[in-house]
Amino acid sequence: MIGPREPTLDNSDTWLVVPLYNESSVIFDVVSEALLTFPKIVCVDDGSTDSSAERAEQAGAYVVRHPINLGQGAALQTGFDYVIRDSTARFAVTFDSDGQHLTADAARMVERLRNEDLDVILGSRFLDNRTSASPMKRAVLKLAIKFTNLTTGVRLSDAHNGLRAFTVEGLARIRIRQNRMAHASEIVAQIGRTRLRYAEEPVHIVYTDYSRSKGQSLWNSVNILVELILK
Amino acid sequence: MDPQLLIKLVLLLGLGAIALLILWPGRGARRLALRRISLLLLVACAAVAVVFPQLSNAVATLFGVGRGADLLLYGLVVCFVGYVIATRAHHSRIDIQVTELARAQALAQAVEPGSIHG
């Protein structure tokens, strides 16, 4: 019996794009586990100073190495360019390297792209109650969504979720210029501008102690705002 | 009438000129020429102020500013703001170029997609 929500294909036409920066302690496990669902994973090593790139390679990922640290936005764009090189690629999923995303969520999003007339599916933490975030974090994220919805014309419930699934056609129309953190808003803005057909999918974010210690501090929302306004 | 009105207007005009210079979409040559002319003017003003220090006092009084030193300070502030903004713009252009270069290099060295799993 095949479970109703399990993807039936082997996802060999799908790339997982993983921006990677100093995650040597977890990247091997993240890649190994994701490979069970997605046979093609490209890790864009953003000038890590630890052994992240080697660990990702050992786990079986394709690794593209930035010679210097450029920022997550640049890493994503490099990953997109890499995926577009592969003529057999039909879908790409952006996936975080710290283990906070679930491959089951990613697989479900690709499955939706296969079956529905959409260009992009964005993960959302706030469509159901599975994700637990602190009230402060929740408030800041809500504010960010308000800002994004106001400035881009795209209606979303979660603007800064790293889990996104694109068709290759959709991907080719995205061009990330914001190197640092503001790229999430930029992607949303470009989805609005290029009129990609989008939908949201509820996803679960695993806030472990590890991801919390590495993750977005609230100070980063200040940085994002400044980057968006001052370019 | 506000005795400082004149200097306020002049300083605001200076800041406005900086804003215009930054937002001006014009072509590279004109922009560069404008930048060079304004720099030369600045040097000329500085030279005049060095040779005739009492002149800055006279000009300051004309604008309703107490002393020439104050006028120089105000001028310095306006120039500094212009410098900061111009440097920032230059910096972000360089940033974009470095990014493109590094990304191109990374992709050039990467193994072909499909080479691992066939």
Taking only the tens place, the pLDDT of each residue in A13-63 is: 999 999 999 999 999 999 999 999 999 999 999 999 999 999 999 999 999
Q: Which residues of chain A are within 8 Å of residue B102 when distances are taken between CB atoms?
A: 66-68, 70, 74
- Residue B118 at interface with chain A, using a CB cutoff of 8 Å: no
On average, the pLDDT of chain B sits at 84
Give me the CATH code for the A14-230 domain, please: 3.90.550.10
Contact B106 A67 (CB under 8 A): yes
Q: Which residues of A touch B92 (CB under 8 A)?
A: 231
Percent of chain A with pLDDT over 70: 88
Residues A198-207: what's their mean pLDDT?
88
| pLDDT at residue A182, rounded to an integer | 78
Domain count, chain B: 1
- The residue in chain B having the minimum alpha-carbon distance to the alpha carbon of residue A73 is B99
Lowest mean pLDDT: which of A34-43, A45-54, A202-211, B97-106? A202-211
The answer to whether residue B54 neighbours chain A at the CB level (below 8 Å) is no
- The answer to whether residue B105 neighbours chain A at the CB level (below 8 Å) is yes
pLDDT digits (tens, 9 = 90+) for B75-87: 888 888 888 888 8
The fraction of chain B above a pLDDT of 70, given in percent, is 92
Q: What is the pLDDT of residue A227?
A: 73
Is the pLDDT reported for residue A125 higher than 80?
Answer: yes
Query: What's residue A145's pLDDT?
Result: 78
The predicted complex's ipTM stands at 0.79
3-state secondary structure B39-69: HHHHHHHHHHHHHCHHHHHHHHHHCCCCCHH
How far apart are the C-alpha atoms of A185 and A191, rounded to whole Å?
10
* Across B13-18, average pLDDT: 83
- Of all residues in chain B, the one with the smallest CA distance to A178 is B96
Q: What is the mean pLDDT of residues A121-126?
A: 88
Q: Is the pLDDT reported for residue A126 higher than 80?
A: no
Q: Which is higher by pLDDT, A4 or A104? A: A104
- pLDDT tens-digit readout, A131-187: 666 777 777 777 877 877 887 878 888 877 899 999 999 999 999 887 776 788 889
In a domain, B61, yes or no: yes
pLDDT per position as a tens digit, A84-121: 999 999 999 999 999 899 999 999 999 999 999 999 99
Closest-CA residue of chain B to A68: B102
Selecting from B92, B111, B117 the residue whose C-beta is nearest the C-beta of A39 gives B117
Q: Which domain holds residue B61?
A: 5-83
SS (H, E, C) chain A: CCCCCCCCCCCCCEEEEEEECCCCCCHHHHHHHHHCCCCEEEEEECCCCCCHHHHHHHHCCEEEECCCCCCHHHHHHHHHHHHHHCCCCCEEEECCCCCCCCHHHHHHHHHHHHHCCCCEEEEECCCCCCCCCCHHHHHHHHHHHHHHHHHHCCCCCCCCCCCEEEEHHHHHCCCCCCCCCCHHHHHHHHHHHCCCCEEEEECCCCCCHHHHHHCCCCHHHHHHHHHHHHC
Instruction: Say yes or no for a CB contact (<8 Å) between B103 and A40.
Output: no
Look at A89 and B109 and tell me if their CB atoms are within 8 Å: no
Q: Which of A12, A63, A231 sits opposite B92 (nearest CB)?
A: A231
Query: Average pLDDT for residues B59-86, to the nearest whole number?
Result: 86
Asked if residue B70 is part of any domain, the answer here is yes
Interface probe with A: pick from B87, B97, B99, B117, most Cβ of A within 10 Å: B99
**Average pLDDT, integer, range B7-26:** 77
Domain annotation covers residue B109: no
Distance from CA of A37 to the nearest CA of B (A): 14
